[in-house]
Chain A
Amino acid sequence: MISPAQAWVTLSQIVVTIAFAIGVAATADTQNTTDTRGNAHSLVVPTLIEQGKASGIEHQYTGSWEFFVGGGGAAFDCNGDRLPDVFLAGGESPAALYKNTASTGGDLQFERVPLDLSDRESRSVTGAYALHLDNDRYIDLVVLRVGRNLLLKGDGDCGYSKANRRFAFDGGREWTTGFSAVWERESHFPTLAFGNYIDQSAPGSPWGTCHENVLLRASNSAKGVGRSSVDGDSSKPFEEPAYNNAIALAPGFCSLSVLFTDWNNSGEPALRITNDRQYYRGGEEQLWRIPAHEQPDLYDTSDGWKRLTIWGMGIAEADLNSDGYPEYALSSMGDNMLQQLDPEAEEDQPHYQDVAFDQGTTAHRPYEGDDSKPSTGWHTEFADFNNDARIDLFIAKGNVSSMPDFARVDPDNLLLQHPDGGFVEAGALAGINLPTKGRGALVADFNADGQLDLIVINREAPVSVFRNSGVAEHWGTRPLGNWLAIELQQPDQNRLAIGARVVVKTGNLSQTRTVSVGGGHSAGVSGFVHVGLGVAERASVRVRWPDGKWSHEYRVFANHHVVLQREVADAVYWYPDTVR
């Protein structure tokens, strides 16, 4: 709960910025805002309270040109308490790991924990993603750097040790800014994709000198018995991955984000890459066909791929219309894209149309202030911030550094989806309209109260830590809509079911979430899948597991964390520790 004084300040800000239009009258429980067509919508707006330094996180992403991009991190559970902990890239400053110590529904609280990295290794970090690399119980980290990337093996208590040699991972020398992972069919270990930016060593750099991107498939490296902690059973034989066979994804076009995605609902992942037109020559956005155990193959115009050139910064996917085919939000400078398969295109052709204007997600200029120059978008993420059962879109914004043709003050966007299906800007109403230069972001429920919080990694400024406190009232705050937090579990391998699809049904509404690692901008979240339920008290959940097999129906009650274990009949409820 925020104090009445805080709430009043928030309300006062809201009142000042209310837009009024004939036909819709805001109530005290909603706020009016207008979409890009000038239509008024009245929405429940979450109150995001910046807790910054008070949260215990003191961190900045800093550095010269190489760190104008990047600036991500990972939210994941490093110690088995199911609360998301945080790893933050620092650029020229050291990266940092923070353990989550928040109480349920309380202020966001973190404690810094040491990283077992050399000073050199902890610097030049651009981003990170968390996943299980070796199929033990403890989640690992992939750290992206300007220079050698790192694989860090977790010990279950927020301890991480470098495992490049152990997993036969060279790490490369590239300027890495993107990452994604997927378990290909019949693979024991994840396939890793690294997105690389500019090759500074090439003649003529930086113009037209983009690094190739890299795909790494693991070969099983038998290690025998007794050295692993798989399931805590030291007598179990085990295997570990060996990432010593890099496959170049050429040509590279200065990628800033990559994402494995099942674009055609085939069960076979493809790799979506967004590229920065600032530096490539003849480049475009890319989609790679990744047939299991075969060579990757780039989709081109003969496959129906439609050429698109943007300053691609970040990727997010969501199946907005629950048709089984994801839509993609691509951040850029100026117009941001919202891509949807063209209904007129032939079947199984990746022919996308941009529906950002129709849907109100162009977010091409700052939504407040006098600066009408184009915006610069970075991290993009779909999530339901107000639990109204309509997924919203967050875009981190901020000038690259001092680019004069782009807005200098460029607040982050919170585009709330309204009942008609489009989106409207609510960043200022929610309170995230800070004059920072956002890069990566972590959207997760850090205090386990069912309301998504937000951490934004800013360039040359402290990290913003926003607690979602619900709906502001003159007497305090009240809850947003109902919600569900779903953890998927598989035994033995791909424990977090990366690649699974979760379908949550309430009434006539089906909402789809895909469990993925990658995308955004150098940042991603592992853990509970959050779904807003609106006014529904119950939900039916079905899972398409990564191997394509559908689960039975799980029947669960709203406002709970549930764990769905493969082959287990009932959902297991989880209760966060209320006293910490």
Chain B
Amino acid sequence: MVGILKKKRSPLVVFGTGLLLVMTASADNRVPWAEVTTALGATGELPSGRLGKRALFSLNDTGEALFEAQFTPLDGAGRPNATQAIIPTKSRRPREHALFRTSGPDATACVSCHNQPVVGGASDFVTNVFVSEGFNQADFDSIDPQFSNERGSNHLMGAGLIELLAREMSAELASIRSQALMDARDANTAVRRALTTKGVAFGYITVFADGLADLSEVDGVDPDLVVRPFSQKGVITSLRQFTINAMNHHHGMQAQERFGLAVTGSDDFDEDGYRNELTPADVSALVAWQATLEPPIQELPMDEAWVAAAQRGGQAIADYGCVECHRAALPLESLDFHDPGPLDLVGTLSVADVAEPAIYDLSLMYWSDTLPRNEDGHVMVPLFGDLKRHSMTDRKNNQLGNEQLSQRFVDRTRFMTAELWGVGSTSPYGHRNDYVSLIEVILAHGGDAKASRDAFAAVGKEAQLDVVAFLKTLKIEP
């Protein structure tokens, strides 16, 4: 899939009723005021090897330009004959309109939603999107809760660190499984091992001498033990996968590595007259920019009373048990972000698909020196999360179980722990962005969070406000 390294803006020749149409970037499209995105194709070849500061920053500039670009039909935006599905799927009929609020395309730019409080941030309820398996019935039905789930737009700040954490955790879980299998085969007996990585417990795996595995005790991660850190459900493996999914869903910009000739037999799968709308190099630019976004920070206000309350609130979330899931920080061994990464499967470029992946060294970023490190020199990523899925409902409190569909095999009551970093800048809250106050969303917790929620509910209003005071210090720097 790495085959096309340069963006091809070659003419697509369409023969029909004797008329020859040439859909291409003509000379008119090269004038500064033309309605095209000049950043498309600007990356040229797929990045590889360790990028120096200049190369990385240049790639980031292109990625940022793509993230902010309002894609136009001349870029290939729109997908008249394809759905938003992650598996290339033809629509049953040509779409009547270029934009659809429900099944998409529902935005002209990434930044249309990811903008609060900065580019790459989150958004308000108004930009909620609809996720479903998204196949050919979606033009009509996606707002019906039996066909789709509604999601708020998450922020992407610090996303590179999040993905690196997930990669290291996945590798450790796979290593535990491999070692257990070897031990079981050597000893000709069943072996049960705890699946714990970076202090987060994902249950147990039991393997047998014949190579079979009992995964019934695995908790909070998929059976393949891949920690998928993105989306409220924790079902997206990488920024690369997220980018490809989102570009098709929201803009109708189809990535060659998912929708191109090798997969669909067509280089214009959506039949909008534009081939190879996003090259692997374009996707890499978007990934690099997202991966190097500055992580949120804790910003203490000038108000001393607020500082005092925040300190009490910080202690309180530990006392209530909130930090069992909202871990203050997780250790990260390496800041080398390989792109493509190790965990994606065919359909999203992975390290197995290229001669040499690019390495985006996050330590080159100005913000990396501000990250705390532990005694082993590992970066302590202050995410306030555990990258694990939990049950969020119980019989008495089903507020967060307000959906009818599981998503990619994840039960409708289970969600990835929301990382709290940046929560002070990204109201509203919850997977549907339908809780405007922090106290509301805390009280909506159930299931695995019931004890903590009950502890929070049991204290007085003032103590609850202490927690709010703390959470509001977790900011995205404007």
Task: Give A residues with C-beta under 8 Å from B.
Answer: 22-30, 41-44, 80-82, 387-388, 418-420, 473-476, 478-482, 506-509, 534-538, 555-560, 563, 570-579
Decide yes or no: A41 and B224 within 8 Å by CB, A27-B4, A577-B211 being known contacts: no
Interface flag for B26 (CB, 8 Å): no
Q: Across the interface, which residues of B come within 8 angstroms of A473, CB to CB? A: 2-3, 355
Chosen A-B contacts, 29 in total, with CB atoms closer than 8 Å, are A22-B13, A23-B13, A28-B2, A29-B1, A30-B3, A42-B265, A44-B262, A80-B210, A81-B210, A82-B210, A420-B265, A478-B1, A482-B347, A507-B87, A507-B135, A508-B89, A534-B347, A536-B87, A537-B345, A537-B347, A563-B212, A572-B214, A573-B212, A573-B215, A573-B223, A574-B212, A574-B213, A575-B177, A579-B182
Bound Cα distance A537, B210 (Å): 26
A-B pairs under 8 A by CB, number: 129
The majority secondary structure among interface residues of chain A is loop
Chain B, residues 26-70, CB within 8 Å of chain A (1/0): the string is 000000000000000000000000000000000000000000000
A43 touches B265 (CB 8 A): yes
B355 touches A476 (CB 8 A): yes
- Which B157-179 residues have a C-beta within 8 angstroms of A? 177-178
Nearest 7 A-B pairs (CB), nearest first? A535-B347, A28-B3, A419-B265, A29-B3, A475-B355, A507-B87, A27-B3
B207 touches A575 (CB 8 A): yes
A478 touches B262 (CB 8 A): no
Chain A residue nearest to B10 (CB atoms) is A25
Other A-B contacts than A29-B261, A419-B265, A572-B215, 15 sampled, CB-CB below 8 A, are A27-B260, A29-B3, A42-B261, A42-B262, A418-B265, A473-B3, A507-B89, A507-B135, A508-B136, A538-B409, A557-B222, A557-B224, A558-B345, A574-B210, A574-B212
From B136, B224, B261, B345, contact of A27 by CB (8 A): B261
Closest chain B CB from A327 CB (angstroms): 21
A29 touches B262 (CB 8 A): yes
Q: Across the interface, which residues of B come within 8 angstroms of A537, CB to CB? A: 345, 347
Bound Cα distance A45, B261 (Å): 12
Interface flag for B408 (CB, 8 Å): yes
Bound Cα distance A512, B343 (Å): 28
Q: Across the interface, which residues of B come within 8 angstroms of A418, CB to CB? A: 265
Chain A residue nearest to B133 (CB atoms) is A507
Decide yes or no: A534 and B2 within 8 Å by CB, A30-B261, A42-B261 being known contacts: no
From B211, B263, B355, B356, contact of A535 by CB (8 A): B263
Chain B residue nearest to A420 (CB atoms) is B265
Closest chain B CB from A201 CB (angstroms): 49
Closest chain B CB from A384 CB (angstroms): 13
Q: Across the interface, which residues of B come within 8 angstroms of A23, CB to CB? A: 13
A572 touches B263 (CB 8 A): no
Interface size range on B against A? 35 or more
Chain B residue nearest to A419 (CB atoms) is B265
Bound Cα distance A476, B136 (Å): 38
B215 touches A570 (CB 8 A): yes
Closest chain A CB from B228 CB (angstroms): 10
Chain A residue nearest to B213 (CB atoms) is A573
B408 touches A41 (CB 8 A): no
Closest chain B CB from A449 CB (angstroms): 11
Bound Cα distance A475, B357 (Å): 13
Bound Cα distance A480, B262 (Å): 10
Q: Across the interface, which residues of A come within 8 angstroms of B87, CB to CB? A: 506-509, 534-536
Bound Cα distance A560, B177 (Å): 14
Chain B, residues 215-228, CB within 8 Å of chain A (1/0): the string is 11000001110000
Closest chain B CB from A251 CB (angstroms): 46
Q: Across the interface, which residues of B come within 8 angstroms of A42, CB to CB? A: 261-262, 265
Closest chain B CB from A551 CB (angstroms): 16
Interface flag for B185 (CB, 8 Å): yes
Closest chain A CB from B21 CB (angstroms): 14
Closest chain B CB from A116 CB (angstroms): 25
Q: Across the interface, which residues of A come within 8 angstroms of B136, CB to CB? A: 508
Chain B residue nearest to A535 (CB atoms) is B347
Bound Cα distance A28, B266 (Å): 14
Closest chain B CB from A295 CB (angstroms): 43
The residue among A23, A420, A535 with the most chain B CB atoms within 10 A of its own CB is A535
Q: Across the interface, which residues of B come within 8 angstroms of A509, CB to CB? A: 87
Q: Across the interface, which residues of A come within 8 angstroms of B3, CB to CB? A: 27-30, 473
B181 touches A575 (CB 8 A): yes
Q: Across the interface, which residues of A come within 8 angstroms of B135, CB to CB? A: 507-508
Closest chain B CB from A108 CB (angstroms): 19
Bound Cα distance A22, B11 (Å): 12
Closest chain B CB from A124 CB (angstroms): 36
Interface flag for B476 (CB, 8 Å): no
Chain B residue nearest to A31 (CB atoms) is B262
Bound Cα distance A578, B179 (Å): 11
Decide yes or no: A574 and B211 within 8 Å by CB, A476-B355, A482-B347, A536-B347 being known contacts: yes
B262 touches A27 (CB 8 A): yes
A478 touches B352 (CB 8 A): yes
- Which B318-357 residues have a C-beta within 8 angstroms of A? 345-347, 352-356
B346 touches A482 (CB 8 A): yes
Decide yes or no: A577 and B216 within 8 Å by CB, A30-B262, A537-B345 being known contacts: no
The residue among B216, B224, B356, B408 with the most chain A CB atoms within 10 A of its own CB is B224
Bound Cα distance A131, B302 (Å): 78
A28 touches B4 (CB 8 A): yes
- Which B350-405 residues have a C-beta within 8 angstroms of A? 352-356
Q: Across the interface, which residues of A come within 8 angstroms of B13, CB to CB? A: 22-23
Closest chain A CB from B342 CB (angstroms): 13
B215 touches A560 (CB 8 A): no
The residue among A82, A476, A572 with the most chain B CB atoms within 10 A of its own CB is A572
Decide yes or no: A535 and B258 within 8 Å by CB, A419-B264, A507-B135, A558-B345 being known contacts: yes
Q: Across the interface, which residues of B come within 8 angstroms of A82, CB to CB? A: 210-211
A29 touches B224 (CB 8 A): no
Q: Across the interface, which residues of A come within 8 angstroms of B185, CB to CB? A: 577
Q: Across the interface, which residues of B come within 8 angstroms of A574, CB to CB? A: 210-213
Bound Cα distance A555, B407 (Å): 12
Q: Across the interface, which residues of A come within 8 angstroms of B86, CB to CB? A: 507
Interface flag for B310 (CB, 8 Å): no
Bound Cα distance A578, B88 (Å): 33
Bound Cα distance A29, B264 (Å): 13
Interface flag for B85 (CB, 8 Å): yes
Closest chain A CB from B207 CB (angstroms): 7
Decide yes or no: A534 and B263 within 8 Å by CB, A29-B2, A508-B136, A573-B223 being known contacts: yes
Chain B residue nearest to A540 (CB atoms) is B409
B346 touches A572 (CB 8 A): no
Bound Cα distance A534, B89 (Å): 12
B212 touches A535 (CB 8 A): no
Closest chain B CB from A471 CB (angstroms): 8
Closest chain B CB from A79 CB (angstroms): 11
Bound Cα distance A25, B347 (Å): 20
The residue among B177, B264, B346 with the most chain A CB atoms within 10 A of its own CB is B346
Chain A residue nearest to B137 (CB atoms) is A508
Closest chain A CB from B467 CB (angstroms): 37
Bound Cα distance A573, B136 (Å): 31
Closest chain B CB from A392 CB (angstroms): 14
Q: Across the interface, which residues of B come within 8 angstroms of A570, CB to CB? A: 215-216
Bound Cα distance A537, B348 (Å): 10
Closest chain A CB from B202 CB (angstroms): 15
From A43, A535, A558, A575, contact of B213 by CB (8 A): A575
Bound Cα distance A474, B207 (Å): 39
Q: Across the interface, which residues of A come within 8 angstroms of B266, CB to CB? A: 419
Q: Across the interface, which residues of B come within 8 angstroms of A80, CB to CB? A: 210
Closest chain B CB from A40 CB (angstroms): 10
Q: Across the interface, which residues of A come within 8 angstroms of B263, CB to CB? A: 388, 534-535
The residue among A474, A538, A574 with the most chain B CB atoms within 10 A of its own CB is A538
Chain B, residues 103-145, CB within 8 Å of chain A (1/0): the string is 0000000000000000000000000000001011000000000
A535 touches B409 (CB 8 A): no
Bound Cα distance A24, B265 (Å): 9
Bound Cα distance A546, B212 (Å): 24
